[in-house]
Amino acid sequence: MTEIGNGYSRSECVRLASDFVISLGKKSQSEPCLSADWFSGLQKRWPDIHVAKPQKLSLARAKASSSELLEYFLSDLKNIMENCNLTNKPDLIWNIDETGLLLEHSPINIVCQKGYTPQSVTSPRGNTVTVLAAENTTGSRLPHSKSCLAEGIWTVCYWTLLLAQ
């Protein structure tokens, strides 16, 4: 999962492994789940696994444009479009983009293979204001959405933006 940008923390790995052990019938729900000691043993059995702090997004974006990642993404996209029968339905294909500032984020350490540098979305300090825009491949647009922090309460504001034709 780390290779595609979704890393798991140490506690998430322990929880997933505990759920797996229960699903195999090796333990029951009433028994205590696996512990941090189990994870230490896992690291000893699999020396390629370690816990690392993800890189911030700005550096991650630079590395995300590698040809290997782009080929993987395009191959995955092609499979999805064929499986969902979207190749001849441009009105069902939407591009959604967001921009804005994020709350200060200190990424947790995640489990990954040694030598791999995990990535995590982070941003400068401050309040969050996020603007979303959506357009499909035929040119139809959804009203723009803005999420902002106002007086300590999250609000979502919708508005229509008139675009020059």
User: Could you report the per-residue pLDDT of 41-56, keeping only the tens digit for each?
Assistant: 999 999 888 888 776 6
pTM of the predicted protein model: 0.40
| 150: β partners | 153
Query: Which amino acid, one-letter code, is at 96?
Result: I
Burial 67-84 (b: 16+ CB within 10 A, else e): eeeeeeeeeeeeeeeeee
Contacts of 18 (CB under 8 A, 6+ apart): 27, 33, 34
Measure the CA–CA gap between 22 and 6, rounded to whole angstroms.
24
| pLDDT tops 80 at residue 73 | yes
| pLDDT tops 60 at residue 92 | yes
Q: Where are the beta strands (DSSP E) in the chain?
A: 8-9, 49-52, 94-101, 110-113, 129-136, 144-150, 153-159
Alpha helical stretches, state H, the chain:
10-23, 36-45, 57-64, 67-83
